[in-house]
Chains A and B, each alone.
Chain A
Amino acid sequence: SQKIEQNSEALNIQEGKTATLTCNYTNYSPAYLQWYRQDPGRGPVFLLLIRENEKEKRKERLKVTFDTTLKQSLFHITASQPADSATYLCALSQTGFQKLVFGTGTRLLVSP
């Protein structure tokens, strides 16, 4: 069955550094890959969507890469701030936002 792996251990970095989160998947060939932010007790917030034919996508301080050969996506936050502390979820699908499969998320802690 399809499997999505995100590092379950929290990532601790210092303010101003670049945070890099990883999403690996197996037994799946997604056409779309998405990243979400989730704060404790709140609903996920959509950040970025990247298609299988796009290698990289940027939005302000965020950058996502999608390597279909390695079956991996990297999510970067440059110039990180304490307000970026949250859990980041990776999600895959064949058809945009329908039938999304989510990873369990990686918690990011940015220290001042």
Chain B
Amino acid sequence: EAQVTQNPRYLITVTGKKLTVTCSQNMNHEYMSWYRQDPGLGLRQIYYSMNVEVTDKGDVPEGYKVSRKEKRNFPLILESPSPNQTSLYFCASSPLNRGEETQYFGPGTRLLVL
């Protein structure tokens, strides 16, 4: 089954404690990205990756890091989380082949930073 998985699904942490949210896709997609979703603001892109070792900033990259060492994985790293990073996070992937127009989102990770 084609899917994007995220772990953990729920996380409560404290300010300053480094954390990583994992994202994995089983569709051999080149493109992966991270979004955060906040009430009234919609989905905003944090980082994206066009392929292995190729990453770029989205609209709200401050306070986040990513890496793309393998095609299937795209972890999101919060080196020193702060309360304003409390949000619902989604990972997504899509192929860059124009013949396959679709994008798959993961189930989301709800993060609370105290």
Contacts and interface: CB of A to CB of B under 8 A. Distances in A.
B21 to A, nearest CB: 14
Interface in B30-45: 31, 33, 35, 40-45
A97 B103 contact: yes
What's the interface size class on B, roughly?
20 to 34
Contacts of B90: 43-44
A69 to B, nearest CB: 24
A61 interface: no
A60 to B, nearest CB: 15
Contact of B41 (A49, A96, A97, A104): A104
Interface in B71-114: 90, 92, 94, 96, 98, 101-108
B66 to A, nearest CB: 14
Given A98-B48, A100-B33, A104-B42, 7 more contacts: A43-B4, A43-B107, A89-B42, A96-B98, A96-B101, A97-B92, A100-B43
B103 A46 contact: yes
Interface of A: 34, 41-46, 49, 89, 91, 96-105
24 contacts: A34-B103, A42-B108, A43-B106, A43-B108, A44-B43, A46-B103, A46-B105, A49-B101, A89-B42, A89-B43, A91-B43, A96-B96, A97-B103, A98-B33, A98-B50, A99-B45, A99-B58, A101-B59, A102-B35, A102-B43, A104-B40, A104-B41, A104-B42, A105-B42
A96 B103 CA distance: 10
Contacts of A43: 4, 90, 92, 105-108
Contacts of A102: 35, 42-44
A66 B44 CA distance: 22
A103 B40 CA distance: 10
Nearest to A45: B105
A101 B33 CA distance: 12
